[in-house]
Chain A
């Protein structure tokens, strides 16, 4: 695609190394378009054509707030990433990475060549695992808080203090459980990232998420990693561990800021 067409642009899904063209032949991209490859040396940018009336700056501002549009776009983006990351080392791009044309894509590959090579070296032969540790919702205290009004002031304060101490002990014990799990998993991972805890209203978990981590696990360690997670899950009733994977290395493809 060249810059002649002002109404369309290139959506950049991922940069791969040594991707064979056959890997993208049967994948339907956004807007029902086929995937294309833009190459620079051994790097292959996986792109498709999108209309600017949907992916231009103004349109993106509008569309990113449309949950149905966002969900569909995220899903297609993910399908493309999965298709190629099964076939070659793949650095996924952020959602809605738009270039004007193939020349702009190639310019990016040139500009980022060294960084992209480092990223691809890091993630090659690895997959991402998500591990979330959730503390069960606190047991309601023995005392009914509505009975507080029948206490005198000193008793009320004393009870508040006991409750606060109990809560603090519980929090630190849960944090200790989470860091024990993280410390163990890190040993089998090539890299790890701690992500912000998720809102239970979104993830649907019960209780408090005390760890939302991503681990970059070498293929040969996948089984050991899964087994370790399973072992860490049992024998600790303070927390519930939710482990998912293998995933494309979404959390490990960022370029270091310069």
Chain B
């Protein structure tokens, strides 16, 4: 089934924090093959979630430094 070419939209930019919410957040986007063949989805996903916490702390630190 091929649909007619959809109208082009002018997509607005997405802020980094919103992208991280969506691309690393829990179960928000399609959980992929993510290194499935290497490690198993669960391990990788859990690690991503843990990572988000430390990344956010680092981002907050950087933002603070920038606004100083």
Contact = CB atoms under 8 A, between A and B. Distances in A.
Contact of B30 (A70, A86, A92): A92
Given A65-B54, A67-B55, A95 B23 contact: yes
Given A87-B5, A204-B63, A247 B11 contact: yes
Interface residues of A, number: 66
B30 A255 contact: yes
Interface string B11-49: 110111111111111011111111111110000100110
B31 A255 contact: yes
B2 to A, nearest CB: 4
Interface residues of B, number: 49
Interface of B: 1-3, 5-12, 14-25, 27-39, 44, 47-48, 51, 54-56, 58-60, 62-64
A17 B44 CA distance: 27
A75 B20 CA distance: 10
B3 A17 contact: yes
A12 B21 CA distance: 19
B11 A96 contact: no
Contact of A82 (B11, B29, B38, B63): B11
B18 A244 contact: yes
B60 A202 contact: yes
